[in-house]
Amino acid sequence: MPITKYLERNAKEYTDDVALVELNPGMKEDRRMTWKEYDLMQPEPAGPYRREITWRVFNEKANRFAHLLMERGIKKNDKVAILLMNCLEWLPIYFGILKTGAVAVPLNFRYTSEEIDYCVNKADVDILVFGPEFIGRVEEIAEKLSVKRLLFFVGDNCPTFAESYYALTMNCDSRNPDIPISDDDYGAIYYSSGTTGFPKAILHKHRSLMHSAAVEQKHHSQSREDVFLCIPPLYHTGAKMHWFGSLISGSRAVLLKGTKPDEVLDAVSREKCTIVWLLVPWAQDILDALDTGELKISNYELSQWRLMHIGAQPVPRSLVRHWREYFPEHAYDTNYGLSESIGPGCVHLGVENIDHVGAIGVPGYGWECKIVDPERKVVERGEVGELAVKGPGVMECYYNDKAATEEVKDSEGWLYTGDMARQDEEGFYYLVDRKKDVIISGGENIYPVQIEDFLHEFEPVDDVAVIGLPDKRLGEISAAVIELKKGYECTEEDINNFCKALPKYKRPRKIIFADVPRNATGKIEKPKLRSLYGGEGLVEKENNS
């Protein structure tokens, strides 16, 4: 059944229980934004930067938007794009789209005007819903956009080139629209992370969305008593699919608009959060703040926090070991996934497998995995090959791109991820690297993730990215871009001495001390690093040194 039925169930069974909380630590009190009539529901806000809605209001808001869309001619399989920062409006708008039978198209909040224009055209979007943070970017292309589509603005002081979401939905019908939706109907288009050029439009059916919800609840056993802290952006499959576990269990979730260590721990403490999904940089920031004494665990109520899990990127073993020194009672899980497999969970470690930290895990609930060679034949266990996954969460296709779809999905439903991995004798999968990030130096395959994991063990290293740089003799050489922890000093000689424990061919040939850029989902932006440090002059200098 479609996930919209869970929202309707929750509105009926848990009517006045809080569904969503929005926390915005950075908003000044005199700039506090309210959600219009929600102030009637909650005359005395619990805090100066806090908003909340119940399951009933959540469902009613989704219904009102669904009826507005239908009044404007939106029908099954039409496309409605969402360009919003995380906020209380985000999920009701998403579910309102789904309730009409239309396809929701979340957009990355970091997109430039050019990328917004590209994505709405790529997905054949009929309506764009956007927030105040994007007025400037949308205005640049508003004349082009409005020729074929409507623009709805979510916020106060609606710009002249758009229509006000608040004003339009206020008097719309709050009852569930009578639109039949099946698992085989299209539900959403998500865009790939776009770290290698313009992103691909990934089309999923409602079956995929429903399976991702079941996977999350199965893996982490959410109950009505759990409170999920959601920090990553909701446009990304990761954050939303983890929240789907809260949807199934009818439990509360907190949308935190902040990533600073004190903001995270304060939210966990104040809202009594039990489950937190972090990206590696945020977890490392918390550890650094605890190490320096900037934060003290005793200042927060954290005893209810039962699960910390990380996804979206390889997780250094050293980070997990260090985390458990401060939080020995925490269950820990890591998830592997990609937008083409509806986000995290097609492979997961499992809370019972803490002794296998370093692995991405085993096939998730309802998923199959295999590792294949370039001819897509299964390799011997222990050998490195491309990871392929199969299950109800595999995308339907890259929208309007048959050739790209056929490159990664075969007739039997296997999705070839482009990630290099191996499987050990116990059946655990280990991520080795992205297929396109493998460095071939003098005929040897070098997997950057292995070197990154090794360097994370060195105390001064806060973050690291290993990339390939062109070399006239070897084809490529490995370079380590290293971001140091605050207060630490480290030289190139220190790094080279530490790396003597590696086989000689795996040792970085160049050391660069610089910031490691990551995108909104925590992935290292290696194309940006290669662009910054891969020029001819740099390589010649290295060769002559």
- Helix or strand or coil: residue 429? strand
Q: Is residue 352 part of a domain?
A: no
Q: Is residue 14 part of a domain?
A: yes
Q: Which of 533, 494, 496, 499 is nearest to 516 (CA)?
A: 533
- What is the amino acid identity at position 305? W
Q: Quick one: pLDDT at residue 195?
A: 45
In tens, the pLDDT along 434-450 reads 667 778 776 567 878 88
- Helix or strand or coil: residue 255? strand
Q: What's the CA dihedral at 186, 190, 192, 198 to 10 degrees?
A: 100
Whether the pLDDT of residue 537 is over 70: the answer is: no
Residue 479: other Cβ atoms inside 10 A: 25
Residue 304: other Cβ atoms inside 10 A: 14
Q: How far is CA 115 from the centre of its chain?
A: 19
Whether the pLDDT of residue 63 is over 80: the answer is: yes
Q: Is residue 52 part of a domain?
A: yes
Q: Quick one: pLDDT at residue 392?
A: 94
Could you give the CA distance from residue 543 to residue 298 in angstroms, rounded to a whole number?
Answer: 53
- Reading the block at residue 158, the tokens are 């609606």
Q: Is residue 336 part of a domain?
A: no
Q: Is residue 65 part of a domain?
A: yes
Residue 3: other Cβ atoms inside 10 A: 20
Could you give the CA distance from residue 415 to residue 394 in angstroms, rounded to a whole number?
Answer: 7
- What is the amino acid identity at position 418? G
DSSP label at residue 323: H
Q: Is residue 332 part of a domain?
A: no
- Helix or strand or coil: residue 412? coil
Cβ neighbors of 319 (< 8 A, separation 6 or more) are 280, 283, 284, 287, 456
Cβ(165)–Cβ(154) under 8 Å? yes
In tens, the pLDDT along 399-441 reads 999 999 999 999 999 999 988 899 999 999 998 766 677 787 7
Cβ(278)–Cβ(310) under 8 Å? yes
According to DSSP, the β-strands at 385-390 and 415-423 are antiparallel
Q: How far is CA 135 from the centre of its chain?
A: 24
Q: What is the mean pLDDT of the chain?
A: 88
Residue 322: other Cβ atoms inside 10 A: 17
Q: Quick one: pLDDT at residue 314?
A: 67
215 exposed, middle or buried (CB, 10 Å; 0-12, 13-18, 19+)? buried
Cβ(415)–Cβ(390) under 8 Å? yes
Confidence label for 515 from pLDDT (cuts 50, 70 and 90): very high
Confidence label for 520 from pLDDT (cuts 50, 70 and 90): low
- Could you give the C-alpha distances from 487 to 150, 216, 292, 482, 498, in angstroms and in order? 51, 39, 10, 14, 19
- Cα angle: 155, vertex 150, 107; to 5 degrees: 65
**Structural domain count, the chain:** 2
The string of DSSP codes covering 57-101 is HHHHHHHHHHHHHHHTT--TT-EEEEE--S-TTHHHHHHHHHHTT
Could you give the CA distance from residue 181 to residue 104 in angstroms, rounded to a whole number?
Answer: 14
CATH number at residue 517: 3.30.300.30
Cβ(183)–Cβ(214) under 8 Å? no
Q: Is residue 32 part of a domain?
A: yes
In tens, the pLDDT along 65-107 reads 999 999 999 999 999 999 999 999 999 999 999 999 999 999 9
* Percentage of residues in the chain having pLDDT higher than 70: 90
Could you give the CA distance from residue 469 to residue 441 in angstroms, rounded to a whole number?
Answer: 10
Cβ neighbors of 79 (< 8 A, separation 6 or more) are 102, 103, 105, 123, 124, 125, 126, 127, 189
Considering Cα of 499, then 505, then 511, then 512, what sign does the dihedral take?
A: negative
Could you give the CA distance from residue 372 to residue 384 in angstroms, rounded to a whole number?
Answer: 8
Q: Is residue 193 part of a domain?
A: yes
Q: Quick one: pLDDT at residue 294?
A: 94
- Helix or strand or coil: residue 449? helix
Cβ(283)–Cβ(333) under 8 Å? no
Instruction: Quote the domain boundaries for residue 177.
Output: 4-229
CATH number at residue 123: 3.40.50.12780
Alpha-helical runs (H) found in 373-507: 402-408, 448-455, 492-498
In tens, the pLDDT along 452-496 reads 888 988 999 999 999 888 876 676 889 999 999 988 999 999 999
Residue after which a domain boundary falls, among 208, 229, 250: 229
Question: What element of type H or E holds 503?
Answer: none
Residue after which a domain boundary falls, among 229, 258, 281: 229
Whether the pLDDT of residue 131 is over 50: the answer is: yes
Could you give the CA distance from residue 127 to residue 436 in angstroms, rounded to a whole number?
Answer: 35
In tens, the pLDDT along 225-263 reads 999 999 988 998 888 888 999 999 999 999 999 899 999
Mean pLDDT score, 330-343: 89
How many CA atoms lie less than 13 Å away from 257 in the CB half-sphere?
16
Lowest mean pLDDT among 360-374, 499-513, 529-543: 529-543
Q: Quick one: pLDDT at residue 39?
A: 41
Whether the pLDDT of residue 184 is over 90: the answer is: yes
Q: Quick one: pLDDT at residue 236?
A: 84
Mean pLDDT score, 160-182: 95
Residue 428: other Cβ atoms inside 10 A: 18
Residue after which a domain boundary falls, among 214, 229, 244: 229
Q: What beta strand segments (E) does 24-69 contain?
A: 50-54
Q: Quick one: pLDDT at residue 472?
A: 64
- Reading the block at residue 307, the tokens are 């699960």
Q: Quick one: pLDDT at residue 538?
A: 37
* Percentage of residues in the chain having pLDDT higher than 90: 64
Mean pLDDT score, 337-357: 88
Q: Quick one: pLDDT at residue 433?
A: 67
**Tokens 């934060």 belong to residue:** 295
Could you give the CA distance from residue 338 to residue 387 in angstroms, rounded to a whole number?
Answer: 12
